[in-house]
Chain A
Amino acid sequence: MNLSLVFREALQGVMRTGIAGVISVATIGASLLVLGFFWQVIESGNALLNRLRARVEIDIYLKDSISSQRVIALRRTLEARPEVAEIVYVDQEAAAREFRSIFGLGTVDALSRNPLPASLRVRISPGENMPRRARAVARSVTGHSAVEGINVGEVWADSLEHFIEVITGIGLALGCMLCFACAFAVSHATKLMVLAQRDAIGIMRLVGATNTTVWMIFGVGGAIQGSVGGFLGPLMLAYISPWWAVRVPDLTVTPTIELAFCLVVLGTILGAIGSWASLNRMLREIAQGSA
């Protein structure tokens, strides 16, 4: 097969579609922009959620005048649990400092003695079901002779978990819908190119071009359109990302090199598939109507 002919015809085919070709490429670019945008939002969202997840903590308040051996024993009990990522001992003085930094000077200092208890601050390892695992850790030391009280902070942890589930669900649903929409748009867009080349396809068949040659020319043509659209997608995303960053700084949509590469590859593949799908239909119509 003459590859230079395939690429030349494919390129000329794309150029000859004129406005229709521009619309095709723009449609592919817009579809991939939307896909890339949501992909980045989900990626940034997941990164944000992972950062928040790393902050799920339990405060285990210790009884006054507890011996250090019993604190060590409690600490060992906690360290034995797989859910525990880190344990920090916060003594009374450190607790008072934290209190002052949050509520200001005076309240603690006005009292004759520091009323704040020492505590073990337990950080839960990141992963699924953090609130449930945090509660399990809390239950395991409830009633321990060294423990005065426990604060799990369940409310926000539960909300966080729910938020993660909702975002993941929306992301998956949107991703699937957009993939279908993108394939549909590309298939229709490349149909314009095939339509514009209808006469040439008829002549190719009539003069004895093999089906492989015809398929290659239009497959490559669709792939060219798809790849240009694939470049446009991340390019437009990079253009709108500063505007977006000002409004939603925690969910950046700036395309990464990997995302740009994926969108170009996706556009190329979708372009070729869309073109072949349209060509298949067109070849049937030409076969019914030729001579």
Chain B
Amino acid sequence: MPVIKLQNVRVEQQGQPILVDANIEINQGEFVYLTGHTEAEKRALFRLIIFENLPDAGMVVVGEYDSRQIRKTDIPRLRRQVGVVFRDFKLLHHRTVYENVAFALEVTGVSRRRIKRKTQAILSDVDLLHKRNAYPDMLSGDEQLRVAIARALVNDPIVLLADEPTANLDPEATEHVMAIFQKINVRGIAVVIATHDAVLQDRYPRRILQLKKEVIEQITN
């Protein structure tokens, strides 16, 4: 069952095509690399998946939401099903690790008791429970990344998008983070990692979607 489906999608920016006739299908529990992309192409794709932009042609389906039918008021609900990890993590520096993760639940109206339970559980999953009272500036790069992963996962998404998550990590930290991604994936969450790291793709081989001159190709299965 696809959690993300792009069919004949065309996206233009200021008259220039960014994606042309793009077709993607990512199924529940899949682990996919997105590669070969330019910054603009990746941004366009991510923005389509969180429905920040709608396609100029074609359709995008994420979970039960279809770009041709979605109402504006449904977009926040859709976004709760998509976890996003940015390259720069986008952590809130005046909040502790716990507060950064809990914030994603608080603003979506989750009860206090559930926030506490879920936040502690997810911090435990990313091995950061012991650092719950630390501020992001007190953490190493991979710890900050794990906080961002925890925040992206705390709303129980069906898919996790990660932008170059291992770009600045040493091999040991990369291994730790990839282990977390695999643990998440085993639970049935689709994981999409945008990366140019060929070593990573060789070491953890998965399906690769390659963007080439605005067209998405599948090069491995």
Chain A contacts to B: CB under 8 angstroms: 1-2, 5, 16, 199-200, 202-211, 213-214, 287, 290-291
Contacts and interface: CB of A to CB of B under 8 A. Distances in A.
Contacts of A207: 79-80, 103-104, 107-108, 151, 155
Interface string B39-83: 000010011001010000000000000000000010011111000
Contacts of B84: 206, 291
Contact of B92 (A5, A200, A291): A200
30 contacts: A2-B106, A16-B94, A199-B90, A199-B92, A200-B92, A203-B92, A203-B104, A203-B151, A204-B103, A204-B107, A206-B79, A207-B79, A207-B80, A207-B104, A207-B107, A207-B108, A207-B155, A208-B76, A208-B77, A208-B80, A208-B107, A209-B108, A210-B73, A210-B76, A213-B109, A214-B107, A290-B47, A291-B43, A291-B52, A291-B86
A290 B52 contact: yes
Nearest to B107: A209
Contacts, number: 58
B107 A213 contact: yes
Interface centre among A2, A203, A209, A291 (most CB of B within 10 A): A291
Contacts of B77: 208
Nearest to B161: A291
B72 to A, nearest CB: 8
Interface of B: 43, 46-47, 50, 52, 73, 76-80, 84, 86, 90, 92, 94, 103-104, 106-109, 151, 155
A169 to B, nearest CB: 48
A245 B166 CA distance: 70
A82 B76 CA distance: 69
B189 to A, nearest CB: 16
Contacts of B47: 290-291
Nearest to B80: A208
Main secondary structure on chain A at its contact with chain B?
Answer: helix
B109 A291 contact: no
A124 B189 CA distance: 88
A129 to B, nearest CB: 59
A5 B106 contact: yes
A207 to B, nearest CB: 4
A169 B106 CA distance: 53
Contacts of A204: 103, 107
Contacts of A206: 50, 79, 84
A12 to B, nearest CB: 8
Nearest to A211: B76
Contacts of A210: 73, 76
B90 A208 contact: no
A202 B107 contact: no
Contacts of B50: 206, 291
A291 B76 contact: no
B46 A5 contact: no
B86 to A, nearest CB: 8
Contacts of A203: 90, 92, 103-104, 151
A205 to B, nearest CB: 7
A206 B89 CA distance: 13
A5 B79 contact: no
A210 B106 CA distance: 12
Nearest to A15: B94
A50 to B, nearest CB: 55
A187 to B, nearest CB: 25
Nearest to B163: A291
Contact of A287 (B43, B52, B104): B52
Nearest to A12: B94
B47 to A, nearest CB: 5
